[in-house]
Structure 1
Amino acid sequence: MAHLSRTTWRHLSRTAECRSTALFSKRPSTCLSTSRAFTTTSCNRTDGVFRELTAQRLQTPWIEALRKQQAEGTSPSQPSGTPQTPKERELTPKRMDDSFHKVVLPLAQDPWLLDTYLNSSGHIRLGTIFMDLDALSGVIAYKHTGEDVTTVTASCDRIVINHPLTEICDLELSGKVTYATGRSSMEITMQVAKAPKEGEKIKNEDVLIHCTMTMVALDPGTRKPVNVNPIIVSTTEEKRLYALGERNSQIRKQRKETALIKHTPNDEESDLIHAFWQKQLQYHDPYDELRKPDNAHFMDTTVLRTATIMQPQNRNRHHFMIFGGFLLKQTFELAFTTAAAFAHSRPTFVSLDPSTFQNPVPVGSILYLTATVVYTDPPLIGAPGEQFDAESNYTRVQVRVDSKVRDVEHGRSKPTGTFNYTFNVEKNIRVVPKTYQEFMMYLDARRRAEQVKETLQEEGVGISPETAEKSVTE
């Protein structure tokens, strides 16, 4: 037996005594908050996602799922082709509250749990909260659809900071299905708020994050869309939420129909491209005194890239694909780093603008992420008649993260999604596109910025840069 010092034995004895006191006495024990006792691995299954949500996502150990797949000789990336969803499913309309689910993160009570949510400066990492929100959306979706289907995240329509947190506190994550017409998709509305005291309701000023995601139901065998239960509404609040879901659906369709991949820029956008081109000619004209200002940076100098192998610890409940929350976390932290490198200033998160999940990411594959600063507001050059404060001390920076996945042998590659994050930085700085591709990315980001600004004004949400800087989240 290995030798243990007296100090170690005293620590172990005190730990055991503390755990015994906590288990067999009703008195609160302070020992559990200051020391970490030995436990079995099954007691604390968490990978940055709160264990209550992880337990519902991971129901079978990876080794068992892998051995079963190897024994059956099937490929997890290919559908079996045999329908598995019952033809006579119960699809009667459901109420919004039927899918309601909430969890409380005891961050103020459990320092070891808090340890998985903090960054180096003591701020709560928003990327880990995004993981929790995606995991929660899956729980809510299955409460609505039942277990006969596979639900996947199709898009993250929006994540917005409503009110900043000024202290570390317990957080309540809650949500429900708020829009479903009976087809395959459903919109889930969620929020993150300061957990209220027993018997009290959440106050509007205690809501940290508002989030909407679109989930799609698929047949597990064919991977084709299947219908889900439609939503019935009755109260004024339910009608408001349903109307917002309907509007978001229309915006998605309109954005798809008018996408720059299908249509040329409109007249105003063409004028803007021409103005940028003229300005760059002036920058390089030896007979013109105008030169590129020090606060303007070409888009190609803002790019950051990463490559990561996908491990089974971040799989979804169907074992062989990575769950969407992990992708949100990875893309958010790369976007944050890109904004910080661009501005040489600490960014403050504003929103995740409408973003899409295109293809699943298999366990064991290589995920490639490319982040680019694609738009700044105020812009360097505005469209004709556009009003903005060119001397503002704050700049809103939009970062686009493109993701693609390859197998380990690098034989095949496919895009997996595009994510659009917006940050505030305390600096007067501008991004300048040069190539035609960069102009298309710039115009797409500009459209998103205008659309998000319009919807936020309609709903009366959003905070000032000065207020956001006081938050303990990052």
Structure 2
Amino acid sequence: MATISRTALRRVNSWASYSCLRRSSCSSQIKRSFRSCAPLATDGVFRELTAVRVRTPWVEALQRQRQEGTDPTKASGKSQVAADRKLEPKRMSDSYHSVTLPLAQDPWLLDTYLNSSGHIRLGTIFMDLDALSGVIAYKHTGDDVTTVTASCDRITIKHPLTEICDLELSGKVTYATGRSSLEISMQVAKALKEGEKVKDEDVMINCTFTMVSLDPGTKKPVNVNPLIVETAEEKQLFKLGERNSKIRKERNQTALIKHTPNDLESDLIHAFWQKHLQYHDPHDSLRQPENVYFMDSTILKTAMIMQPQFRNRHHFMIFGGFLLKQTFELAFTCAAAFAHARPTFVSLDPSTFQNPVPVGSILYLTSTIVYTDPPLIGAPGEKVDPESKYTRVQVRVDSKVRDVEHGRSKPTGQFNYTFMVEKNIRVMPRSYQEFMMYLDARRRAEQVKESMGEEGPGLNPKVAEESVTE
């Protein structure tokens, strides 16, 4: 073992004494105080949105639940909403809320929004939008009801970002008739200076969410405040919400789970079956092209435990925005694996949250390429470009949960994402279940084309390539 000489020891002690004297003399001249910055009102992702979403530490919520001896994931059967509560009409402006993400100003905040290639993670933006929809909903309904996300009617990229900038997320209730559901319209736009008005070209994302209010005790729908519609702009937004509600009802009534395919769709199934026979007929020269893949070969799956860090404000269910983030990133990966090219997000098409996801459950996600546009086989009279350089790829993500013991399972939602890839590639169904998934996706694509006809030409492939978002 090495030893230190007396001379060296004296030097060390002398230096230590000198350092102490120097620190004491400096402290009398220079005072260092520790202080924190004033909280920003614009960093909604960390304070404004998250703080509203979760107000009680998990350990306290868990202890309270154990003391009460109740299962918060099940209905108690006892109503907690007063039967005589007053539901006075409210204005759209009453629920308006906005937050600004200072991505260009705060590199550490930006750090949580970027992926490995320097693109903004849209899944994180979607998570913020779902949190914002909850803030807006409770500003309209109040805290005495439980308001949950029922569906995401559509999220579209309107003008892709070409550079990193501060973003403003804003929205309000735009459709509520006084029944249990309400529609919330939101947008993500470039954050402008105070007093400046957002122009159409500043808007990056448009989206609408449908929320449903429930009695916390019975878990049954309860009525909410109706809307007062005054200005021409508000009347237009309300009318759009009315149309979206009608489309949702029509879609439910004509769903393939309830009805057989129509004549045109039956012809398509037959045409695919004939094409499949040709590919495998030794006496036919037609063979399966290299750019055609069977649907069952595109499936990608994940499973994960639902941890309390992603709970909603009611503590024992998972925050809906977390599901959007997870399903988006799986859909993105599925599209990339299918095309062997980097996908660019186009839209989240009408998607539903069927059942809540309990904390502690196991979430299973299954993604499948269910439709490509241009399609392999077009409908009669439909113009199809078989040599198209770009392909729109629709990915369906089905989610279900099981308890830890895996004793029971239930579906929790279906999410439909559309991406664009610079690749000529096609998907082909061959089982009856796959045909139904294909037709359901085709119907969604047709609805998107109709809405694009009203809203504009849609996302330009070249502009999409230059975007800084996924």
When normalised by structure 1's length, the TM-score is: 0.90
Counterpart of 1:57 in structure 2 is 53
Counterpart of 1:91 in structure 2 is 87
Residue type of the alignment partner of 2:159: H
Q: Which runs of 5+ in 1 are unaligned?
A: 1-5, 7-12, 25-42
Residue type of the alignment partner of 1:433: P
Counterpart of 1:359 in structure 2 is 355
Counterpart of 1:309 in structure 2 is 305
2:65 aligns with one of 58, 65, 69: 69
SS of equivalent residue, structure 2 residue 313: coil
The answer to whether structure 1 residue 424 and structure 2 residue 417 are counterparts is no
Q: In the alignment, is the contact (CA less than 8 A) between 2:305 and 2:361 conserved in 1? A: yes
Deviation at 1:284, TM superposition (A): 0.7
Deviation at 1:174, TM superposition (A): 0.2
Question: Which whole-Å CA distance do the structure 2 matches of 1:200 and 1:50 have between them?
Answer: 26
Structure 1, residues 286-331: CA drift from partner, whole Å, max 9, x if none?
A: 1110001000000000000000000000000000000100000000
Counterpart of 1:340 in structure 2 is 336
Give 4+ residue runs of structure 1 displaced > 4 Å after superposition: 16-24
Q: In the alignment, is the contact (CA less than 8 A) between 1:49 and 1:128 conserved in 2? A: no
Counterpart of 1:35 in structure 2 is none
Q: Which runs of 5+ in 2 are unaligned?
A: 1-18, 20-26
Residue type of the alignment partner of 1:56: V
2:401 aligns with one of 393, 400, 405: 405
Q: In the alignment, is the contact (CA less than 8 A) between 2:361 and 2:401 conserved in 1? A: yes
Deviation at 1:84, TM superposition (A): 0.4
Counterpart of 2:286 in structure 1 is 290
The answer to whether structure 1 residue 160 and structure 2 residue 156 are counterparts is yes
Q: CA RMSD in A?
A: 2.0
Question: Which whole-Å CA distance do the structure 2 matches of 1:395 and 1:216 have between them?
Answer: 36
Counterpart of 2:233 in structure 1 is 237
The answer to whether structure 1 residue 113 and structure 2 residue 113 are counterparts is no
Q: In the alignment, is the contact (CA less than 8 A) between 1:99 and 1:176 conserved in 2? A: yes
SS of equivalent residue, structure 2 residue 323: helix
Deviation at 1:64, TM superposition (A): 0.3
When normalised by structure 2's length, the TM-score is: 0.91
Q: State how many pairs are aligned.
A: 441
Structure 1, residues 80-123: CA drift from partner, whole Å, max 9, x if none?
A: 11100111222121111110000001111111111111100111
Question: Which whole-Å CA distance do the structure 2 matches of 1:259 and 1:289 have between them?
Answer: 38
Q: In the alignment, is the contact (CA less than 8 A) between 1:50 and 1:132 conserved in 2? A: no
Residue type of the alignment partner of 1:421: Y
> Relative to 1, partners in 2 of residues 1:271 and 1:135: Cα closer, same or farther, differing over 3 Å?
same
SS of equivalent residue, structure 1 residue 186: strand
> Relative to 1, partners in 2 of residues 1:18 and 1:143: Cα closer, same or farther, differing over 3 Å?
farther
Question: Which whole-Å CA distance do the structure 1 matches of 2:58 and 2:457 have between them?
Answer: 42
2:372 aligns with one of 371, 376, 380: 376
Structure 1, residues 125-166: CA drift from partner, whole Å, max 9, x if none?
A: 000000000000000000000011000000000000000111
Structure 1, residues 392-451: CA drift from partner, whole Å, max 9, x if none?
A: 100000000000000001011000000000000000000000000000000000000000
Question: Which whole-Å CA distance do the structure 2 matches of 1:384 and 1:259 have between them?
Answer: 22
2:145 aligns with one of 119, 144, 149: 149
Residue type of the alignment partner of 2:213: A
Higher Rg of the two aligned structures? 2
The answer to whether structure 1 residue 328 and structure 2 residue 321 are counterparts is no
Question: Which whole-Å CA distance do the structure 1 matches of 2:163 and 2:194 have between them?
Answer: 19
Structure 1, residues 1-42: CA drift from partner, whole Å, max 9, x if none?
A: xxxxx9xxxxxx9xx999858859xxxxxxxxxxxxxxxxxx
Question: Which whole-Å CA distance do the structure 2 matches of 1:50 and 1:108 have between them?
Answer: 16
Q: In the alignment, is the contact (CA less than 8 A) between 2:45 and 2:101 conserved in 1? A: no
Q: In the alignment, is the contact (CA less than 8 A) between 1:402 and 1:417 conserved in 2? A: yes
Structure 1, residues 170-208: CA drift from partner, whole Å, max 9, x if none?
A: 100000000011100000000000101121111110100
2:440 aligns with one of 438, 444, 463: 444
2:451 aligns with one of 450, 455, 470: 455
Counterpart of 1:414 in structure 2 is 410
Residue type of the alignment partner of 1:356: T
2:194 aligns with one of 193, 198, 206: 198
SS of equivalent residue, structure 1 residue 210: strand
Question: Which whole-Å CA distance do the structure 1 matches of 2:66 and 2:134 have between them?
Answer: 27
Q: Percent identity?
A: 79
SS of equivalent residue, structure 1 residue 175: strand
Counterpart of 1:349 in structure 2 is 345
Deviation at 1:390, TM superposition (A): 1.3
Question: Which whole-Å CA distance do the structure 2 matches of 1:168 and 1:441 have between them?
Answer: 37
Deviation at 1:361, TM superposition (A): 0.2
> Relative to 1, partners in 2 of residues 1:260 and 1:199: Cα closer, same or farther, differing over 3 Å?
same
